[in-house]
Amino acid sequence: MKYDGYKVEWQFFRTGNLIRFIAALLSIVPMIADAAEIDCETLKSTTQPFEISWTFGKYESVLQIYREKSGDAVRWRQVTTPGFVNVSKIEFFDGVGSEFTRTYRGGQPLKGKSTFSGLPKGFNHRSDLTYAIDASNKFPDGQTVKSTTTVHFHFVSETRKAIGGCVFAIIKSEETLTVDGKANGPTTVYFLPDLQTPSLLADDDTEFHISTSFTPLRLLN
């Protein structure tokens, strides 16, 4: 159906049939909704940007990912809890490292860089792996803190999950982090390899929402 607004409007108002005119406009709404539906195969096979959101415990998370064919990506993440919100921009360089800026409402930004050792490019999270992250974080007071984290990644299982009318592979895993010799974890995390997501803090019952039409996140200050 091709909608010629001026022609339709003139025809209906000329006959005085306002009800038919409104009905004609309303008939277009389902077509617009259909056009906005997610193309699952395009989302999986291209670098189309997308937003995924979910709630886990007291945390409400929004993740927006702008992917590149190289495996690199720019990831925006917003985490909201009662009385607290932060927004981060993470530039991810596949197999190499990352740079980030994290902002807090009413606070000063935190900036950092990290370098990966032992993390292969294009790692699909379907096997166990141990790798290291050397990080340098600059705090608002000008202090720079360096740390080394060893990540022990353990593959648990892979299933498929329906999200937003699409079905994606979802990987369940456990991560144990050893920071400067002190172990933390293990923590259960999830990955969507079809979408090249980072680790998602969730559980088996978490409901994810996905969209390719969204308002881009921005740093808070």
Q: Domain extents for the chain?
A: 5-34, 38-211
Pick 7 or 177 by higher pLDDT: 177
Given a cut of 90, is residue 25 above it in pLDDT?
Answer: no
119-166 confidence digits (pLDDT tens) = 999 999 999 999 999 999 998 888 999 999 999 999 999 999 999 999
Q: Which of 29, 38, 58 is nearest to 214 (CA)?
A: 38
pLDDT band at residue 95 using 50, 70 and 90 as cut-offs: confident
The confidence score (pLDDT) of residue 137 equals: 93
pTM: 0.80
Whole-number average pLDDT of the chain = 85
pLDDT band at residue 83 using 50, 70 and 90 as cut-offs: confident
Q: Which of 101, 103, 99, 104 is nearest to 116 (CA)?
A: 99
Q: Which of 47, 4, 98 is nearest to 212 (CA)?
A: 47
pLDDT band at residue 181 using 50, 70 and 90 as cut-offs: confident
What are the phi and psi torsion angles at 53 (to 5°)?
-135, 155
The confidence score (pLDDT) of residue 191 equals: 97
The confidence score (pLDDT) of residue 117 equals: 95
The confidence score (pLDDT) of residue 107 equals: 78
The whole-number average pLDDT for the span 78-102 is 94
| Strand ranges (E), the chain | 50-56, 59-67, 73-81, 84-93, 97-104, 110-117, 129-138, 144-163, 166-179, 182-191, 209-211
Torsion of CA 40, 42, 45, 47, to 10 degrees: -120
